[in-house]
Amino acid sequence: MNEVQAILEGFESSQKSGEITFLATVVKTQGSTYRRPGAKMLMTNTGRTIGTISAGCLENDVFEHTQQRMSDGKPIVVTYDNTASEDILWGFGLGCNGTVQVLIERLERESTPNAIAFIEECFDKKHLGIIATVFSLEGAVKVKLGSRLLLYPNGKVITDIKDKNLIQSLIADTQAAFGDQKSRVNKYQLSLSSVEVFIEVIQPPTPLVIFGAGYDAVPVAQFAQALGWDVTVVDCRADEATKERFPTACNVILSRREIVQKQVFIDSYTVAVVMTHNYLDDVEILKMLLPSPAHYIGVLGPKVRTQRLLEDLSLQGIVYTPEQLTRLHGPVGIDIGADTPEEIAIAIIAEIQAVLTNRSGNFLRNRNQPIHQSNESNSKLLVTR
């Protein structure tokens, strides 16, 4: 279970127990900070918290804001500036040198648009979603702090924003976020005012399909589930004991290589690992995976074995494009000297994470760019009619 999933469960629990619930979201950062925009923390009036927005130095202060400044239920934005040398509010010698803006809002189940309900729907229905949230206002603007626009994959829009020009710009920019799947902060300049908006990409849990149900597949499934991924285990031996070996997997499919392609759904978000330890099974599975839109395909075993698999497929008259082969990772995993099943599982999960975030998986000390992607504001001028 990842942080967002824990927050969703915590919100449901708080509603059943009658607690007043607040959500803190990092909406903008500048410089070096521990968490990036999109980091969330759920808080209740009883002092219960789920999630983090810093290394532990902001959380108590954010909670105090919910107790002292939010009696009217209206959202607020709190800025923490750690760039000054005299900082004593949240630096505590951490070495960060940045600014963090946090939106704090009271959660209501019946509110519209409802960000929590929207995130829950994205997770349940396994689709992407975009949330655009207004967090900064300057000048005579008719938009309220915390106003939102929600964009669904089918183009459906839900918003409480009244400014038509802003809505048009937000629709265009949220659609762009669908394309590159990157969150961003945009500043919109109106004739006499301006607003800043955090455009957040909501990613459903990563669907991982593990082909193979041996004991070395168990830690792969466990580590993936710790990240909140949606794990499916496919056992081509159709062994009923597999379900006992993977009691917490989201889905266990007992299959045979002749019919596996009819039982497994693969889309462009799917990452797959082939570790059946059966050559003929692997041939049939790769025959299915390579032409599929799978984002990542990992094959356990030495490089010569993977090359032989491809050669045998070619002998069957199956030809694959270079683009399809770029998604193939064999041997699977990054080079960390892994030997035990647990070490190999770490190497596999780390490589998948690197591919998902378009990173090299190299040492951070060798990285010349910032660890996190830049999230500086993009300024846009709105033409009023």
Is the C-alpha dihedral spanning 378, 204, 226, 224 positive or negative? negative
Place of tokens 């070996």: 245
Question: Where is 25: in which H helix or E strand?
Answer: strand 21-31
pLDDT reported for residue 273: 98
Pairing of the two strands 251-254 and 157-159: unpaired
> Within the chain, which residues score under 70 in pLDDT?
83-97, 373-377, 381-385
Q: Tell how many helices (H) and how many strands (E) occur in the chain.
A: 11, 17
pLDDT reported for residue 89: 46
Domains with residue ranges and CATH for the chain: 1-109 (no CATH), 110-204 (no CATH), 207-361 (3.40.50.720)
If phi > 0 it is left, if psi is from -120 to 50 it is alpha, else beta; for residue 228 that is left
| 381 DSSP assignment | E
pLDDT reported for residue 370: 75
Q: How many CB atoms lie under 10 A from the CB of residue 98?
A: 14
332-371 pLDDT per residue, tens: 999 999 999 999 999 999 999 999 999 989 898 888 887 7
The 3-state DSSP class for residue 246 equals coil
pLDDT reported for residue 92: 44
pLDDT reported for residue 377: 66
Q: How many CB atoms lie under 10 A from the CB of residue 250?
A: 16
pLDDT reported for residue 93: 45
Question: Where is 262: in which H helix or E strand?
Answer: helix 260-263
Model pTM above 0.75: yes
Is the C-alpha dihedral spanning 38, 41, 44, 50 positive or negative? positive
Average pLDDT, rounded, for the chain: 90
pLDDT reported for residue 266: 95
Which residue pairs from 63-69 have beta carbons closer than 8 angstroms and sit at least 24 positions apart in sequence?
65/104, 66/22, 66/104, 66/106
